[in-house]
Structure 1
Amino acid sequence: MMILNQIREWINIRLYPSKRRVLLFLRYSSFFVALVTLCALVINYGYELSGEDRRMVYQIVRFSLVFYLLKYIVKIIYDFHPIEFIKSTLTEAFLMLFILVNLLTIHFFNFNVLTFLGNLFDIGDINHFFEVGIQVYFLIVFLIEVGKATSVLEKVNVSPSTLFIFSFIILISIGTALLMMPEMNTVGKSPRFIDALFTSISASCVTGLTVVDTGEFWSVKGQFVIMVLIQFGGLSIISFATLLVLFTRNNIGIRQQSIMQNNLLADSLSSSSGLLKRIFYYTFLFEMVGATLLYLSYYGRTDGSVGNNIFNALFHSISAFNNAGFSTHIGGFTSEEVANIYVLHILIAFLIIFGSLGFSNIFDLFSIRRRRKEQKKPWLGLKIDTKISLYASSILILLGGVLFYFLEEKNVLSDKDFYARITTSFFQSVTTRTAGFNTVDIGSLQMSTLIIFIFLMFIGASPGSTGGGIKTNTFVLIFLGTYTIIRGRARFELFKRTIPHDLVLKAYSIMLFAISIISLGIFLLSLFEPQFSLIQISFEQVSAFATVGLSTGITPHLSTAGKIIIMFTMFIGRVGPLTLAYSLLRQTRANAYKYPEARMMVG
């Protein structure tokens, strides 16, 4: 043992001068190899390739696997404590060992371990599963490298708001390029660029407005891309990359923490990384539980393959929890196959509610640690943010459901029984807040109902969620501020707490910015789309800004100019009005002086 330690020490001493240079080379080349391999797999995924081209893709994948295997071995050699290094990367070590064994057996003995395992466990298409696993592996590797590359953000003088916006632009660009590939749709040829871009923006911004029917036009591959865009758009691609970095090296830079704090509405820089992990935990927990319940209650009992049914359940769970509104059913939830499956509607509605509450509020409600802390300190209770979100959401859902029931009782609800009317009213009230699913024809609703829907969409979901709108807390602060001013009080008080004046002013700023964007969009749409009524245009614009996705049916019939207006509106609605304003306006220094006060007439 002593001799081995001496040999290892001698090797480490000899290799130490080149360690930094070699590891740096491996780091940059790893990013390049992952990018090239991912592009090759994407081309193989999106195009019908010839046998020769497909073999070329397999050669690239094989070379990449060899590269990462050699990279791992080199890192072991250069590490001063190789045993501890292997233990700390045990999952990667097992994967590399499997790749090594499989490559050696194929090369020297013409024996494929995967095929052997497939026959042993009676898995006929195991190579297909391995191909999918390899694609996921390289996607994870690429995101890890992107996450590590964000360390350069410490040296870039760009605000977190700007970087957050650019992350969505990159995601939308990648999504558009993927959806442009022929294999992504049922037609078998590249769609119109404007349609692919519109769909990518709508999915990335978790809106749900569509210019083509998702279930009819896009193939399963295209629907999978849309599902990934929804997931990345709901949590942001920066969050995914940062999370992977946290799992690989357990720390991130100050700038990255600042971006996360801005994105997740964390209380402090130090709490942003911990909140990020909890967000992913609860997100995947709710989505997996939701997919399981959807599969057991409906999709598992339908015709079709097991894999396709699982995909449909997972797609709708992700779409509902992220408040996206996309559906793989032709015609959405108004289609005959699901229009009367009310247990499905209820499950979707509760996924929407949980997704719209906000991640911080979900943690406050469902955290076991929080409940234990309350047992020791009963006076803590729920945070004021959680209370506002719960009360506001409950009141708005109840109000929306009751109004929809009585306004549409003799219209779209006339042919339904009492239980169906109650369920439909509840579902539409929930989904109008920010999700975009609909079980009735929105274009057939009365104008009074559409006005109520515009009001609900404008308010939207709770802060820190994937939903849009000005947010429930903003609306409550605006109502509180107006009420306090009318009563002539000096302080804003809620739940026996004093609300700072700057928060109320921020709420008014958000509302003013939102009304300005919506009004500008309505004005422009009225110029380019004169064939539609004002209520149709207003409904479409508010739905786009609040990232709801409901439509009276005019979205596919919009002109190119109209689609561009809606796309910009969806983007602004997703990144947030103030985030966009902060990224465009330069920060100004506070002046030490103060001008004399001026009195003027108001009202």
Structure 2
Amino acid sequence: MPARRKVNNIFKNFKKFFLNISNLQIILITYLVVVLLGTCFLLLPISQKPGVNISFIDILFTVASAFSDTGLTTRVTVETWTDFGQAVIAILILIGGIGIFALKVWIINVIFRKSISITSRNILEKERSSSKTSDLKKTIKISVTFLFITILVATFILWLIFYFEKGNFILQEVSDKEGVIKVRDFSQYDPHGNVLLSFKAAVFHSISAINNAGFDILSDASLSPYYSVYSIQIVFIILLVIGGVGFPVIYDVLQYISHKIRKRTDFHFSLFTKISCVSYLLVFLTGLILTFIFELTNSNPMNLWNNNNPELGSKGDRIMCMVFHVFSTRNAGFTTLDTNITTFLDSTLIIFAIMMFIGSAPSSTAGGIRTTTLAIIIVAIWNRIRGINEVRMFRRKISQDNVFSSFIVLAISIFIILLSSLICFTSLDTMWGSASSKELTFADIFYDVCSAFGTTGLSTGLTSSLNTGSKLTLILTMFIGQLGISSTILVWRKNNFKNNYSYIEEDIIIG
């Protein structure tokens, strides 16, 4: 009897837990289950190439990076995973970028033509950070359909480009003192003239680019074999922007085009679209201007602009490289610069890190604090300086709750970045790791941590040298960046009726 009573109590506790579980907790648990399933698939021998010896923590890191649409890797994707393993990664990227519950709603509503339950709608609202539940189903339906159409179109275009364009897959590794020390040959992965290989590359990179994932199956240096091929870079930039602006913006733009075609004038962009697009553009332009200032005016003979290595091409190629990387910091993770040849200045890396920390729009594939959060904080500070106690944008007042939440998100995000950076310092050879303390600076570590938090994927090469504790830290950082600070905090929140009272207010001196 005692044993049966104990079993009954366990079942009652499980039942109580599932009955009281919140929508955010459902999302969190579902995400964890997907990561575990993805890890199980990549553990299979069919996923790994013969002779590959990869640890469980590296597999978990890869799955977390793919599902969070980050792109940071501890192993070279094309050399580690078979076609099946690469397909698993592509699927994780897709469901992580669009959203599990968004995909579920799209499949039920578009393919099977059935309505969704109120519970599913509420969960979707939390997953996509939407406040307009009434338009949510229509937004998902139209936006996800548009994304899939864009993937198909981009796949066809990239298929042609990969097939006809000849990339440089013989990559050099250069030492500042000794010159060329070895050649890395990735010509076996060159899709030029190969119908099947170019098609596979087109499908994988279309999914990876539109979801701002940063994974590639070309080499160990991302898109660097196509450093001088502008057509590929332009296609990628278009996909990165579409994936980074968010579902509400995509929906608004498509509705605007529809109204223009029908010659109707009763359309107005939502406040979210206005703030998101303006802040996205301003962050990009600010980053681009600062990058040009730092890179074009310095006298360092080894940096991108002044380096005499012929692999870096013309001045036009170098400017395009800078432009592409500024776009890539908006959560993309692709690079056209082989860091074994040269890299950007530390000052430029800090600018890139800050841009990755900011991220792109909510309800998108982006991580970071999000552009709308930054916009509210900047306007709030500026208005406070001018003696205005309200935050007003585009003739609308932003609620005090939104303003307060924005500052909370910023504070917690800075704390996470600093803590994660300190933990990653343990990977240096001066502590408990193998990463060279002579080659890696604070800017390199800060850069990779911001990349993880912003789910971007750009790296200075640090991730391959991380110890287990640092890898677990970045996995958690990527997960928080994917789910969002607000959702990460709210998932643990409980209603505490004991605190429904207030004390007498008193001012204190602050900084």
Q: 2:54 aligns with which of 156, 178, 191?
A: 191
Distance 1:450 1:424 in 2: 14
| Structure whose residues are more often helix by fraction | 1
For 2:29 and 2:313, the matched residues in 1 are separated by 47
Alignment check: 8 A CA contact 2:380 2:390 kept: no
Structure 1 distance, partners of 2:337, 2:402, is 38
* Cα distance in 2 for residues equivalent to 1:587 and 1:570: 28
Matched residue, 2:169: none
Partner residue in 2 for 1:241: 104
**Percent of aligned pairs with the same amino acid:** 31
Write the distance in 2 (CA, Å) between the matches of 1:389 and 1:249.
Answer: 31
User: How much does 1:335 deviate?
Assistant: 3.8
Change (3 A) 1:476 1:213: same
- What is the rounded CA distance, in whole Å, between the counterparts of 1:297 and 1:305 in structure 2? 11
The correspondence for 2:133, drawn from 262, 265, 269, is 269
Give the SS at the match of 1:296. Answer: helix
Q: Whole-Å Cα distance in 1 between the matches of residues 17 and 108 of structure 2?
A: 15
**Aligned residue runs from structure 1 range 91-490, under 5 A:** 156-187=19-50, 191-246=54-109, 247-248=111-112, 250-299=114-163, 302-303=191-192, 305-336=194-225, 338-367=226-255, 371=259, 375-378=263-266, 380-409=267-296, 411-414=303-306, 415-441=312-338, 444-490=343-389
- In structure 1, which of residues 494, 513, 520 is the aligned counterpart of residue 419 of structure 2? 520
> In 2, Cα distance between the equivalents of 1:573 and 1:481?
24
Any idea what the Cα deviations from partners look like across 1:15-35, whole Å, max 9, x if unmatched? xxxxxxxxxxxxxxxxxxxxx
Greater CA drift, 253-262 or 405-414: 405-414
Name whichever of 581-590 and 212-221 sits farther off: 581-590
Bigger Rg, which one: 1
CA contact (8 A) 1:154 1:255 kept: no
Counterpart-to-counterpart distance in 1, 2:102 and 2:19: 19
TM-score norm. by structure 1 comes to 0.70
Cα distance in 1 for residues equivalent to 2:356 and 2:399: 27
Structure 1 regions of 5+ residues with no counterpart? 1-151
In 2, are the aligned partners of 1:182 and 1:188 still within 8 Å (CA)?
no
After superposition, the Cα gap between the structure-2 partners of 1:418 and 1:303, relative to the gap in structure 1 and judged at 3 Å, is closer
Offset at 1:350?
Answer: 1.3
| Inter-partner Cα distance in structure 2 for 1:346 and 1:244 | 31
Structure 1 contact 257–270 (Cα < 8 Å) conserved? no
2:390 maps to 491
Q: CA deviation at 1:239?
A: 2.7
What is the deviation of 1:291? 1.5
> Structure 1 stretches (4+) deviating beyond 6 angstroms?
152-155
Change in Cα spacing, 1:153 to 1:170, as seen in structure 2 (3 Å) is: farther
Native 8 Å contact 1:154 1:253 kept in 2: no
Classify 1:297/1:157 alpha carbon distance in 2 versus 1 (closer, same or farther; 3 Å): same
Amino acid at match of 2:31: F
How far residue 202 of structure 1 moved from its aligned partner, in angstroms, is 0.3
The amino acid of 2:138's aligned partner reads G
For 1:121, the equivalent position in structure 2 comes to: none
Aligned CA RMSD, in angstroms, stands at 2.5
Query: In 2, Cα distance between the equivalents of 1:448 and 1:475?
Result: 21
Match of 1:468, SS state, is coil
TM-score (norm 2): 0.82
Q: Which has the higher contact order (CA 8 A, sep 6+)?
A: 2
Q: How far 1:589 moved relative to its partner?
A: 4.1
Say which SS state the counterpart of residue 551 (structure 1) adopts. coil
Shift of 1:384: 1.9
Q: Give per-residue Cα distances to partners, 1:152-192, cap 9 Å, x unaligned.
A: 99973211111111121111111111111122122256632
Q: Aligned residue for 2:506? A: 598
